[in-house]
Chains A and B, each alone.
Chain A
Amino acid sequence: MTALLPRRGLAQIFALIVILMVDRAVSPQFFDLRLQDGRLFGSMIDVLNRGTPVALLSLGMVLVIATRGIDLSVGAVMAISGAIAASLADSHGLPVVLAAALGAGLVCGLWNGFLVSILGMQPIVATLILMVAGRGIAQLITEGRIVTFTSPDLVWLGNGAILGVPVPVAIALGMLILTGAVVRGSALGLLIEATGGNARASELAGVGTRAMILAVYVWCGVCAALAGVIAAADIMGADANNAGLWLELDAILAVVIGGTSLFGGRFSLLLAVLGALIIQTMNTGILLSGYPPEFNLLVKAVVVLAVLLLQSPKLTGMAGIVARIRGTKA
């Protein structure tokens, strides 16, 4: 795995550098950083900060996709956890707020995992249920209003800084390290890749595929809930209609850009998060360039196509043939 990383990550790193260069060209101050009130500011920090929700989502999503599943409900789960956090923020302490919000994410994940793993439903259909119902649940919690709060603790989660680093970025980093430690430190990574690669074979080899599939949906729910809390903390309120809207698609995109196949199997946490950063770097760049944000979607499509082409075995195979022909000529 570690030996494979550099080669596997080349396309993504290359794409990120190109986009960063373009961003630098349209906005000369792009790489500028300044420290103010103990917190770093600058476009780069913005990218990291704004990219946090999708990065968190992609951490859960990449594991789900590695088992050959998909979770369409993460945007709705964000709305639920954001609504819960906002409703409780001014009456309860941060630990209670976090426990309630993340607990809700865990329950949502259990529900998805139950449908997929125990009942054997197709993941796309199973999670579509919560994608639709979840936003309704969030609206019920907020009673259809935008719930605002002033709790300084929760606001700090979205806007504070630790040693200059914005708290959301620190949390995302922490989650990446935690997930990586659990997945690659235990045998989970191998068993997930085996399950995604060939579930029947893995089961016959004694792998507890059901429990594993349940677990990845639960983790995906928790990650989504955390993203929801951060998104709510960022705007100091919860908007059940718009929180996390369409972000499930960005998360799936991030995972795909990160080189994990939708057919399951091999996955990389780091590259999925890199995928999320690529998406956010593009978004920020377009905003800075002054082009209307409508271009965002088109540009995104072009970049995704480019990254996927760079990863395509056929294309690299062709490049290899070209290189060999040149080699024989020389």
Chain B
Amino acid sequence: METSPDSAPCLLEVRGISKSFGAVRALQDVDFTLRAGEIHALLGENGAGKSTLIKVVTGVFPRDAGIVRLGGAEVAPRSSKAALEAGIATVYQEVNLLPNLSVAQNLFLDRQPMRFGIVREGEMRRRAKALLAEFGLDIDVAAPLGSYSVAIQHVTAIARAVDLSARVLILDEPTASLDRHEVEILFKIMRQLAGRGIGIVFVSHFLDQVYEISDRITVLRNGRLVGERETASLPRLELIRMMLGRELAETTSARAPASEQQVREICASFEGYGKSGYVAPFNLELRHGEVVGLAGLLGSGRTETARLVFGAERSDQGQAKVEGAPVRLQTPRDGVRHGFGYCPEERKTEGIVAELTVRENIVLALQAKRGLYLPLSRREQDEIAARFVKLLDIRPPDPERPVGLLSGGNQQKVLLARWLATSPRLLVLDEPTRGIDVGAHAEIIRLIRELCEDGLALLVISSELDEIVTYSDRVVVLRDRAHVEELQGEAIDVSNILAAIAADNSAVAQEGRP
């Protein structure tokens, strides 16, 4: 692969872009530079602002401030169609073509070769065939696009974009649903296009792939630019530190000294537990009065582990035990019955029932556990709601308010209350502090500690490493959908976690780099 030198002409220049959604500042003064003929990885954790940046540049969202220059001339597209006409094409993870139309029709949609007002099907197919041949694809272009694999659909979308004289190609998580072989095909095409001088922005959370294909990396975090580096000179550990945003000096291990830690009773254990294609089999012991943190990058299998443990996802191997007795954990109902609780990361879509009141949301899991025929009376519901509104300081303290009207932090507290009301033995918390303001953030962490002292077993996922270090008794590190390391006691600190996350299965990473 040719690596473009710094002197390569600057193709796309983004300067000082800011974008707010209401009070949330999604992008603050972000710069981004794409050179002609380079493959540039855009990285960051969930909510870092990658998608927002792409959407602002391609005109899907209007921007609040900043300028975009393409080939030196300022552009301000109002829609993705206008961006495409200007020469910036985007291919999203979910291919936005029409699966029921043929490959040829998709390639020439809106610009079919015509004669006397009639589409020249033969000519269109011939040209489609020729176009795809450039990408090394030889397929029946008359067949519906939907009948082909996601990889071919991606290549079709890329071919269409390139044929529309795109100079900048933005690929948003293009490899998420591809297998290894398909990724190779895609990478070959990407290198070929870069060789023709097209600038490619590659968004992915697969770091191995980023190291394999990209020339340069830009990292965003919390809507701000962290930095732009050359891939070849950026160690993996340094990259992860940029993404997770922790300076080693800042970190302190806040755990109780080892002498205070007595042997605690096992609450739930998982042996060889896993699901093929979802998360590799793992062993996990959760003890009463202990917090286990799950650390890893986005897509490393953190949420997947949590869902298996709770029963939100069916495992296909291994054995789960609760208080020493083997149990079946195949549905959320199983989890609830065994005294588990789960606060999912997607609070709005999987957590709260927005139109129901705080009271109803709080009693929901308890009522589901008791069953239909043991309804909680209105008085009992009022008591439970009032107790938790006070205990967790839910604001405004009105149990009859629809929960959708509360702030994110208070919604999170309502979800915690929902599970605490069931007197659980194990709570699984997926990113309990995400999208929560600073004050509530500290309160949630304080709550996690208190619950733990009361003898609850906790399994907590967080991208905030110093947060995990603060409350965890043990930390399980995940990488590529497998548990790779377990840290205990003194060993728990941010640098060890980072090292475990970054540990390079270098064989794979180097494979594609000649």
> Given the interface contacts A187-B367, A207-B368, does A200 sit within 8 Å of B350 by beta carbon?
yes
Contact of B370 among A187, A188, A193, A202 (CB under 8 A): A187
Is B360 positioned at the interface, with any CB of A under 8 Å from its CB? yes
Is B373 positioned at the interface, with any CB of A under 8 Å from its CB? yes
* Contact B374–A187 (Cβ < 8 Å): yes
* Contact B352–A206 (Cβ < 8 Å): no
* Contact B367–A193 (Cβ < 8 Å): no
* Contact B356–A194 (Cβ < 8 Å): yes
Q: Which of A174-218 contact B (CB under 8 A)?
A: 185-188, 190-191, 193-194, 197-198, 200-208
> Given the interface contacts A187-B376, A204-B344, does A194 sit within 8 Å of B333 by beta carbon?
no
* Contact B355–A197 (Cβ < 8 Å): yes
B interface: dominant SS: helix
Cβ-closest chain B residue relative to A206 = B336
Is A258 positioned at the interface, with any CB of B under 8 Å from its CB? no
Is B27 positioned at the interface, with any CB of A under 8 Å from its CB? no
Contact of A265 among B356, B363, B368, B373 (CB under 8 A): B356
* Contact B332–A203 (Cβ < 8 Å): yes
Q: Which of A185, A202, A265 has the most chain B CB atoms closer than 10 A to its own CB?
A: A202
Is B471 positioned at the interface, with any CB of A under 8 Å from its CB? no
- Distance between Cα atoms of A207 and B373 in the complex (Å): 13
Give the residues in chain A near B249, CB-CB below 8 Å.
none
- Distance between Cα atoms of A266 and B353 in the complex (Å): 11
- Distance between Cα atoms of A304 and B433 in the complex (Å): 45
A interface: dominant SS: helix
Cβ-closest chain B residue relative to A2 = B378
* Contact A205–B332 (Cβ < 8 Å): yes
* Contact B312–A198 (Cβ < 8 Å): no
- Distance between Cα atoms of A201 and B312 in the complex (Å): 11
Is B296 positioned at the interface, with any CB of A under 8 Å from its CB? no
- Distance between Cα atoms of A197 and B354 in the complex (Å): 7
* Contact A198–B353 (Cβ < 8 Å): yes
* Contact A190–B418 (Cβ < 8 Å): no
* Contact A201–B332 (Cβ < 8 Å): no
* Contact B353–A206 (Cβ < 8 Å): no
Contact of B364 among A188, A194, A200 (CB under 8 A): A194
Q: Which of B361-402 contact A (CB under 8 A)?
A: 363-365, 367-376
* Contact B360–A190 (Cβ < 8 Å): yes
Give the residues in chain A near B202, CB-CB below 8 Å.
none
- Distance between Cα atoms of A75 and B364 in the complex (Å): 35
Q: Which of B303-358 contact A (CB under 8 A)?
A: 310, 312, 332-333, 335-337, 342, 344, 349-356
**0/1 interface trace, chain B 162-188, chain A, CB 8 Å (1 if under):** 000000000000000000000000000
**0/1 interface trace, chain A 202-237, chain B, CB 8 Å (1 if under):** 111111100000000000000000000000000000
> Given the interface contacts A186-B373, A187-B372, A202-B353, does A194 sit within 8 Å of B360 by beta carbon?
yes
* Contact B372–A188 (Cβ < 8 Å): yes
> Given the interface contacts A186-B375, A191-B372, does A206 sit within 8 Å of B365 by beta carbon?
yes
* Contact B349–A208 (Cβ < 8 Å): no
Give the residues in chain B near A186, CB-CB below 8 Å.
372-373, 375
* Contact A208–B368 (Cβ < 8 Å): yes
Interface residue count for A (Cβ, 8 Å)?
Answer: 21
- Distance between Cα atoms of A207 and B372 in the complex (Å): 10
- Distance between Cα atoms of A193 and B375 in the complex (Å): 14
Give the residues in chain B near A198, CB-CB below 8 Å.
349-350, 352-354
* Contact A266–B355 (Cβ < 8 Å): yes
Give the residues in chain A near B342, CB-CB below 8 Å.
204
**0/1 interface trace, chain A 41-83, chain B, CB 8 Å (1 if under):** 0000000000000000000000000000000000000000000
- Distance between Cα atoms of A275 and B352 in the complex (Å): 30
Closest Cβ of chain B to A99, distance in Å, is: 25
Cβ-closest chain B residue relative to A3 = B400
Give the residues in chain B near A188, CB-CB below 8 Å.
372
**0/1 interface trace, chain B 238-277, chain A, CB 8 Å (1 if under):** 0000000000000000000000000000000000000000
* Contact A191–B367 (Cβ < 8 Å): yes
Give the residues in chain A near B349, CB-CB below 8 Å.
198, 200-201
* Contact A201–B375 (Cβ < 8 Å): no
Give the residues in chain A near B365, CB-CB below 8 Å.
205-206
* Contact B356–A206 (Cβ < 8 Å): no
* Contact B354–A205 (Cβ < 8 Å): no
Give the residues in chain B near A202, CB-CB below 8 Å.
353, 364, 368
Give the residues in chain A near B352, CB-CB below 8 Å.
198, 201
* Contact A190–B367 (Cβ < 8 Å): yes
Closest Cβ of chain B to A201, distance in Å, is: 5
* Contact A206–B370 (Cβ < 8 Å): no
- Distance between Cα atoms of A205 and B370 in the complex (Å): 12
* Contact A208–B333 (Cβ < 8 Å): yes
Give the residues in chain B near A207, CB-CB below 8 Å.
364, 368
> Given the interface contacts A205-B332, A205-B365, A206-B368, does A185 sit within 8 Å of B356 by beta carbon?
no
Contact of A206 among B333, B350, B354 (CB under 8 A): B333
Cβ-closest chain B residue relative to A195 = B353
Give the residues in chain B near A194, CB-CB below 8 Å.
353, 356, 360, 364
- Distance between Cα atoms of A49 and B1 in the complex (Å): 83
Give the residues in chain B near A187, CB-CB below 8 Å.
367, 370-376
- Distance between Cα atoms of A202 and B367 in the complex (Å): 11
Closest Cβ of chain B to A68, distance in Å, is: 12
Give the residues in chain B near A203, CB-CB below 8 Å.
332
Cβ-closest chain B residue relative to A203 = B332
- Distance between Cα atoms of A187 and B353 in the complex (Å): 16
Give the residues in chain B near A266, CB-CB below 8 Å.
355-356
Cβ-closest chain A residue relative to B333 = A206
* Contact A205–B368 (Cβ < 8 Å): yes
**0/1 interface trace, chain A 247-277, chain B, CB 8 Å (1 if under):** 0000000000000000001100000000000
Closest Cβ of chain B to A154, distance in Å, is: 34
Closest Cβ of chain B to A260, distance in Å, is: 12
Closest Cβ of chain A to B332, distance in Å, is: 5
- Distance between Cα atoms of A147 and B509 in the complex (Å): 78
A-B contact pairs, 16 of them (CB 8 A): A186-B372, A186-B375, A190-B364, A191-B364, A193-B356, A194-B360, A194-B364, A198-B352, A198-B353, A200-B350, A202-B368, A204-B332, A204-B342, A204-B350, A208-B368, A265-B353
- Which 7 A-B pairs rank lowest in CB-CB distance, beginning with the nearest? A206-B336, A206-B368, A197-B353, A187-B375, A205-B365, A198-B353, A207-B368
Q: B interface vs A, CB < 8 Å? A: 310, 312, 332-333, 335-337, 342, 344, 349-356, 360, 363-365, 367-376, 418
A187-B375, A202-B353 are known; give 17 further A-B pairs, CB within 8 A. Answer: A187-B373, A188-B372, A190-B360, A190-B364, A193-B353, A193-B356, A197-B353, A198-B350, A198-B352, A200-B350, A201-B352, A202-B368, A205-B336, A205-B364, A206-B332, A206-B365, A208-B333
Q: A interface vs B, CB < 8 Å? A: 185-188, 190-191, 193-194, 197-198, 200-208, 265-266
